[in-house]
With several copies, the nearest count.
Chain A
Amino acid sequence: MTFGVEQAEKWIITFNDKIQENKEYLTELDQAIGDGDHGLNMARGFQETVNKITSVNYDDLGSLFKDVGMTLIAKVGGASGPLYGTAFMKASLALKDKKKADVKELVEALAASLDGLKTRGKAQVGDKTMIDVWEPVIEFLTNSETIQPKELSVLSKEKMEYTKELEAKKGRAAYLGKRSIGHIDPGAASSYLLFVSLAEVFTGGELSS
């Protein structure tokens, strides 16, 4: 199995489905330690993204991810908009003109996304943000030869759940100080869904290197 435009679209569409399903859940997580709009923001932005990419025939991953990034930047807003938007813009640069990607290329693109996230948001692992899912997941993928859907799902879930233990240092939840402990970070939860969706693309077949 290869990662081409079809797989990338499936990834985004699957992710959007999960976001729509979990819109209220994500909003509730954000109500607990933020301002209660994460589900709304993500649902609005990714629906627009899916509308966009399903109306265009893409030749390569770069232009697909560019449209994803641009749509997210313009439609999500809040903190998650620039972050997810930047992630896909960085991936699009890494995959410029590429019709398909092998594991190494895909993982490098995701690593570029992570870099973008960290530059944009200035958060570190442990700050109780989506970085707490992204960084260990990218590290795991970088060290794997193939993408193992099962392990990817398990790890991202574990990392998402671990944010419950943390005290927020970045984002809106930081204002709560110690009161942020005991709640899953909403952006970590949506990032978990992103990686689960990616895992589903690879279910039943592993990407050859």
Chain B
Amino acid sequence: MKKLMNDPNQVVKDMLAGMVAAHFNQIKRLPDTTVIVRKDAPIQGKVGLVSGGGSGHEPAHAGYVGKGMLDGAVCGEVFTSPTPDQIFEAIKAVDSGKGVLLIIKNYTGDIMNFEMAAEMAEAEGIKVAKVVVNDDVAVEDSTYTTGRRGIAGTVFVHKIAGALAEQGATLEEVEAVANKVVKNVRSMGMALTPCIVPAAGKPGFELGENEIEIGIGIHGEPGIEKTQIQPADEIVQILLGKILDDLKLENNDKVAVMINGLGATPLMELYIMNKKISEILKEKNIHVHETFVGEFMTSLEMAGCSISLLKLDDQLIELLDAQADTIVFKK
């Protein structure tokens, strides 16, 4: 394991220190926490948005703290949901009295920790709503299981709910639009290489010289299926195929596309993926309103990518296009 770090057990602390030092104009860290909030939090008259999760997904989630997206991001240990006390601090710091929306990726740990934090906040009289993102179609959705995971599509929830909150909407309205995004976004990923949690010191799974994992999550966990490496066009067909099966788009539908690198994938390769993605969508007469290509929700230094499709209507388009000024996402 070769990493630019000092102590594998201090990576989150060191990262946060470096992040705040870099972006002191935009963000601040709540003292003695792993919580990053907007420098001007709480924003009067605005619903607060808090997201978070394990670290190792940078720029998620702290990179999305700023005008038009999140008010606060709670950073757990690497790939480990943050604890309720930290989330509670974030809620308190961003609440201006209009309530706080928690944007949670659908993992047992995240759900439980955010729920406990919400209970704490409600006990102190803060209005809290929760939305759970579960965009990963690699995982079967069933009421008997944990359900689908939340992956890169979460960034669309931040963007769109954030834009509505910025307009002064109520907690109920912001929650409703967040849920609308969740209903309309689907993602699926694949990996060329595993990644190494610094404190674990070795990869979560092994891949042969010619193997890839289809249906990978974002926590270094194995995917749904191991196969031989295939041309980019074939990989697009697998991932996009599953997404389209699930999203059921129609002629003339409008979508936003996100091609998300998992950490070690050159932009070049993501654009090569988009060549085929755009061809397939064009063939199906689905209109791409905007394509986002880059690293939005990573998995440390994993090589691979995910594709997300968000089905748009006029409201979602307006909110997606709205101004945003965060560390990494600007519009």
**Residues of B with C-beta under 8 A to A78:** 54, 76, 80-81, 109, 113
| Size bracket, chain A contacts | 20 to 34
Contact between A171 and B146, CB atoms less than 8 A apart: yes
Complex: A120 Cα to B54 Cα, angstroms: 20
Task: State the 7 A-B residue pairs at the shortest beta-carbon distance, nearest first.
Answer: A79-B109, A35-B219, A82-B112, A78-B109, A77-B80, A78-B80, A79-B108
Asked if A64 lies at the interface with its beta carbon under 8 angstroms from chain B, I say no
Q: Contacts A81-B81, A82-B84, A82-B113; is A37 near B197 (CB within 8 Å)?
A: yes
Do residues A73 and B205 form an inter-chain contact, with CB atoms below 8 A? Answer: no
Quick one: which of B81, B115, B220, B221 contacts A77, CB cutoff 8 A? B81
Asked if A93 is at the interface of the complex by the 8 Å CB criterion, the answer is no
Number of A-B contacts (CB under 8 A): 114
| Chain A hits for B82, CB < 8 A | 77
Asked whether, in the complex, the Cβ of A175 is within 8 Å of the Cβ of B80, the reply is: no
A177 within 8 Å of B (CB atoms):
yes
Q: Does A36 contact B (CB under 8 A)?
A: yes
Taking a contact as CB atoms under 8 Å apart, the answer to whether A41 and B85 are in contact is no
Majority SS of interface residues in chain A? helix
Q: Which residues of B contact A171 (CB under 8 A)?
A: 108, 146
Give min CB distance, B3 to chain A, whole Å: 15
Question: Does any Cβ of B come within 8 Å of A169's Cβ?
Answer: yes
Choose among A27, A31, A74, A79 the residue that contacts B112 (Cβ–Cβ < 8 A): A79
Q: Which residues of B contact A (CB under 8 A)?
A: 54, 76-86, 107-109, 112-113, 115-116, 138-140, 144-146, 149, 197, 199-200, 202-205, 217, 219-222, 224
A34 to B113, CA, bound (A): 18
Cβ–Cβ contact A76 & B83, under 8 A: yes
Q: For B77, what are the chain A residues with a Cβ–Cβ distance below 8 Å? A: 37, 40-41, 44, 77
- Bound together, the chains give a CA A62 to CA B221 distance in angstroms of 38
Binary per-residue interface labels of chain A (45-80) against chain B in the complex, 1 for a CB within 8 Å, 0 otherwise:
000000000000000000000000000011111111
Could you mark each residue 15-55 of chain A with 1 if its beta carbon is under 8 Å from any beta carbon of chain B, else 0? 00000000000010001011111001100100000000000
A65 to B108 Cα, complex, angstroms: 24
Give A33 to B78 CA distance when docked, in angstroms.
17
Residues in chain B near residue A44, CB distance under 8 A: 77
CB distance from B30 to the nearest CB of A (A): 15
A170 within 8 A of B: yes
- Smallest distance from the beta carbon of B104 to chain A beta carbons, Å? 13
B109 contacts A36, CB within 8 Å?
no
Q: How far is the CA of A82 from the CA of B110 in the complex (A)?
A: 10
Bound: A78/B145 CA distance, A? 18
Contacting residues, chain B, for A177 (C-beta < 8 A) = 140, 224
Q: When chains A and B are docked, how far (Å) is the Cα of A128 from the Cα of B54?
A: 23
Chain B residues whose CB sits within 8 angstroms of the CB of A81 once the complex forms: 81, 83, 109, 112-113
A169 & B144 in contact (Cβ 8 Å cutoff): yes
**B210 vs chain A, min Cβ distance (A):** 20
CB contacts (< 8 Å) of A170 on chain B: these are 108, 145-146
A33–B204 Cα distance when bound, in Å, is: 9
- CB-nearest residue of chain A to B216: A175
A154 interface contact, C-beta 8 A: no
CA distance A78 to B54 in the complex (A): 8
Q: Which residue of B lies closest to A24 (CB)?
A: B200
Docked Cα-Cα span, A76 to B81, in Å, equals 9
Most buried by A among B79, B146, B149, B203: B146
How distant is the Cα of A120 from the Cα of B84 in the complex, in angstroms?
Answer: 13
Q: Which of B81, B85, B115, B200 contacts A36 (CB 8 A)?
A: B200
A83 touches B112 (CB 8 A): yes
